[in-house]
Amino acid sequence: MSGLEELTAGFLAAAVRVATPLLLAATGETVTERAGVINLGIEGMMLAGALAAALGASAAGPWTGVLAGIGAGTALALVFAAVVVGARGDQIITGTAVTLGAVGLTGMVYRQAYGTAGAGLNLPTLAALPVPGLREIPLIGPALFDQPAPTYLAILALPIVWWCLFRTRAGLMLRATGESQAMARAAGVRTGLVRAVATLIGGAFAGLAGATLVLAQVGTFAEKMTAGRGFIAIAIVVLGRWHPAGVGLAALLFGAATALQFLFQTLGWDVPYQLFLMLPYGLTLLALAGLVGRVRPPADLGRG
Amino acid sequence: MPRRAWVIAGTAVGLGLAVLAAGLSLAGYDAGAALAALWTGAFGSWYAFTSATLVRAVPLILIGLGIALGFRAGVFNIGAEGQFYAGAIAATWVGLHVGAMPAALAISAVWSAALLAGACWVAVPVGLRMRYGVLEVISTLLLNFVAEALVSFVVQGPLQERQGIYPQSDPIALSARLPFIPGTRLHVGLFLALGCAGVLWYLFARTRWGFKLRAVGAGPRAAEVSGRIDSRRVTAQALLASGAIAGLAGGVEVTGVSYALYQNLSPGYGFTAIAVALLARLHPLAVVAAGLLFGALEAGAGAMQRDAGVPAVAVSVVEAVVLIVVVIAAAGVQRIGLVGAARARRRAA
């Protein structure tokens, strides 16, 4: 491979790797928001999923960790759903509360489990699973087909979610609930149940995203390690216009923005690293501004 | 406050502490020792009360007032943390250059810079909302992370201390530091916070602008149609004022407590203040009481970490439970106006 080709392939692979947890969380949030629920708690659910994954993996291997992560995300989503759907609490504030609570809980559990020194965890992680044949495609081969299992899950989830949302009766009921809860209810849809289930699906995805972050990307847990990725996932949903295909592209865009950092380092360009910390957030704001009048959220999004 | 509000507030805080204790026990800590440390750290002595609890209550009261102001007009400012940091950066920068001025002038200059920086930081979400319809919930939230990265950059770049070793700024000029109340480490910024609470109470209850604010918060369409109020303008003003106050809180923290800029200057004041504002049901005078309560919690959290080995961040569990209880109570009766306001606003959008 020539130098340029190698560089590009490395950049694309890093972009996909960084995008995976964002894509997973955003895919789940797409389902949740299509049912009319905006869940700011997915940041906390990712964080809880990350810690549960670390604990599960050190106890019984990486796949137990993945399951533990999904379980933790779903459990927190259950709390969120109970308040928002069950008690009709405000979604924004409840989501903020769930995230705050997750920060506190994970801090407590983490300190107890790993002591004050923390960090130096030696976790069993998920290794890359190259797909024979496809991996050899130039440029996109290593990016898409030489990744750990969660990346494949994230990519497969997109068409599945699309099909469920737009080609099944359950998906129709879910979207109807998001567009007009009152009318959906009049048509016989159990809207509370639909919203609760959609929230739980979102929580499970967020937990999986957190697990992916720990087991397929960073290899360790740290306090507040999600660092706003859950919120970025929410922005990705807006950017992807509440559609799985758009969400996939938007997540990749974010992965690329972060992967630029690695590219610049490789090239030896001296740019303050904080600039790259800001880039995804700044990019989101720009992108949101650029979408004026061209996107329409589910009409009943955020309404109790 | 009416009796019902006291009941809700008491339930929220009691339940929050109970959940914290249960969580600590389940995680394997000595919950009794932790809560004892929490109490001692917050109220154990006059010194602890003034120099730990009240010192932390000041930024919480200020930011809480700003958030309450926004909520009253139906806007969700979840970006106070970022505005606080913007204010702290500006305050430090100005504070390094006012050594030649008399104290009153120096402090005024630093505080004005902080106020302005907070307003500028929130001007981005205001502009995005006015011009492009981007929800301020998302934009203010995202700007928190930009602000944190900006602090990280300036304390390792333009504002780094002279020797260039530590990621923090040089201490600000002596003339820009707030005097203490004798016998304590409590700076006079407390009076600013109390003064702001009084001013906001007057604004809300007694002025035309306050009336417009509440009308827009209760229902922007109705305010426009029946009151001929420019609700977009009022909303923008509320959000700007909210950011300015959070920025000012950053300036007060730099001039009264830290004297320098560094990362993690705020232990999440911008988020805790959301709980402060909501627990106070957006009433400026009640914000003072709620700010005190959460200041005590923050102060106690520090002691808990030192004396009982419980990470300070654990107290955000209490904040979470308080928020949830208040939200459920509000949803049950819809008297707080907040939920109804948000709903009406979205319907109008």
- pLDDT digits 0-9 by tens, B16-30: 999 999 999 998 899
Of A103, A112, A303, the CB nearest to B27: A112
Nearest-CA distance B75 → chain A (Å): 11
Q: Which of B222, B256, B6, B223 is nearest to B111 (CA)?
A: B256
Task: Write a three-state SS string for B9-67.
Answer: HHHHHHHHHHHHHHHHHHHCCCHHHHHHHHHHHHHCCHHHHHHHHHHHHHHHHHHHHHH
User: Is the C-alpha dihedral spanning B283, B285, B287, B293 positive or negative?
Assistant: negative
Q: Do the Cβ atoms of B320 and A231 come within 8 Å?
A: no
Q: If you average pLDDT over residues B99-116, what whole number do you get? A: 95
Containing A247, the helix (H) or strand (E) segment is helix A244-267
CB-based contact (8 Å) between B172 and chain A? no
> What is the distance in angstroms between the CA of the first residue and the CA of the last residue of chain B?
32
Q: Which residues of chain A have pLDDT under 50?
A: none
Q: Do the Cβ atoms of A93 and B134 come within 8 Å?
A: no
* CB-CB neighbors (< 8 A) of B133 in chain A: 292-293
Give the separation between CA A30 and CA B252, rounded to whole angstroms: 41
B46, with CB counted inside 10 A (0-12, 13-18, 19+), is exposed
- Tell whether the model's pLDDT for residue B349 goes beyond 50: no
- Tell whether the model's pLDDT for residue B337 goes beyond 60: no
* CB-CB neighbors (< 8 A) of A227 in chain B: 145
Give the separation between CA B147 and CA B261, rounded to whole angstroms: 13
Question: Which pLDDT score, from 0 to 100, does residue B335 have?
Answer: 40
Radius of gyration of chain B (CA): 20
- CA atoms within 13 A of residue B256's CA, in its CB half-sphere: 28
Give the separation between CA B77 and CA B136, rounded to whole angstroms: 7
Question: Which pLDDT score, from 0 to 100, does residue B339 have?
Answer: 47
Give the separation between CA A275 and CA A272, rounded to whole angstroms: 6
Q: Which of B249, B252, B326 is nearest to B283 (CA)?
A: B326
Q: How far is CA B153 from the centre of its chain?
A: 23
Distances (CA, A) of A189 to A71, A88, A146, A183: 27, 18, 43, 9
CB-based contact (8 Å) between A109 and chain B? yes
* CB-CB neighbors (< 8 A) of A289 in chain B: 128, 131-132, 134
Determine the 3-state secondary structure of B187 from DSSP.
strand
Question: Which pLDDT score, from 0 to 100, does residue A291 have?
Answer: 67
Give the separation between CA A116 and CA A6, rounded to whole angstroms: 41
Give the separation between CA B187 and CA A267, rounded to whole angstroms: 50
- Sequence-distant (6+) residues with CB within 8 A of B349 are B133
A32-71 burial, b at 16+ Cβ within 10 Å, e below that, comes to bbbbbbbbbbbbbbbbbbbbbbbbbbbeeebebbbbbbbb
Q: Do the Cβ atoms of A235 and B138 come within 8 Å?
A: yes
Q: State the ipTM, two decimals.
A: 0.89
* CB-CB neighbors (< 8 A) of B20 in chain A: 104
Residue B58 near residue B52, CB atoms below 8 Å: no
* CB-CB neighbors (< 8 A) of A92 in chain B: 76, 78, 137, 342
Q: Which of A160, A157, A301, A93 is nearest to B349 (CA)?
A: A301
| Amino acid sitting at position B235 | T
Q: Which of B197, B260, B172 is nearest to B68 (CA)?
A: B197
Question: Which pLDDT score, from 0 to 100, does residue A247 have?
Answer: 94
Give the separation between CA B349 and CA B343, rounded to whole angstroms: 10
Of B149, B313, B328, the CB nearest to A89: B328
The residue to which tokens 């009360």 are assigned:
B49
- Sequence-distant (6+) residues with CB within 8 A of A214 are A50, A53, A54, A57, A65, A69, A123, A220, A221, A225
- Tell whether the model's pLDDT for residue B217 goes beyond 60: yes
Determine the 3-state secondary structure of B262 from DSSP.
strand
* CB-CB neighbors (< 8 A) of B143 in chain A: 281, 285
User: Is the C-alpha dihedral spanning B26, B29, B33, B35 positive or negative?
Assistant: negative
Nearest-CA distance A74 → chain B (Å): 18
Strands A146-148 and A128-130: antiparallel
CB-based contact (8 Å) between B267 and chain A? no
Give the separation between CA A111 and CA B103, rounded to whole angstroms: 44
pLDDT digits (tens, 9 = 90+) for A135-172: 777 777 777 777 888 999 999 999 999 999 999 999 99
Q: Do the Cβ atoms of A96 and B271 come within 8 Å?
A: yes
CB-based contact (8 Å) between B320 and chain A? yes
Of A94, A101, A304, the CB nearest to B317: A101
The residue to which tokens 């996932």 are assigned:
A233
Question: Which pLDDT score, from 0 to 100, does residue B346 have?
Answer: 54
Give the separation between CA A154 and CA A22, rounded to whole angstroms: 10
**Inter-chain CB pairs, A–B, below 8 Å:** 160
Q: Which of B250, B227, B256, B241 is nearest to B199 (CA)?
A: B241
Phi-psi region of A241 (alpha: psi -120 to 50; beta: other; left: phi over 0): left
Give the separation between CA B283 and CA B199, rounded to whole angstroms: 12
B256, with CB counted inside 10 A (0-12, 13-18, 19+), is buried
Question: Which pLDDT score, from 0 to 100, does residue A116 have?
Answer: 64
Q: How confident is the model at residue B333 (pLDDT cuts 50, 70, 90)?
A: low
* CB-CB neighbors (< 8 A) of B23 in chain A: 104-105, 108
pLDDT digits (tens, 9 = 90+) for B159-194: 999 988 899 999 999 999 999 988 888 999 999 999
Question: Which pLDDT score, from 0 to 100, does residue A97 have?
Answer: 94
Q: Which of A195, A217, A205, A197 is nearest to A128 (CA)?
A: A217
- Tell whether the model's pLDDT for residue B261 goes beyond 80: yes
pTM for the model stands at 0.89
Residue A28 near residue A205, CB atoms below 8 Å: yes
Q: Which of B92, B85, B84, B55 is nearest to B260 (CA)?
A: B92
Give the separation between CA A75 and CA B86, rounded to whole angstroms: 36
pLDDT digits (tens, 9 = 90+) for A184-212: 999 999 999 999 999 999 999 999 999 99
Question: Which pLDDT score, from 0 to 100, does residue A293 have?
Answer: 56
The residue to which tokens 């960790």 are assigned:
A65
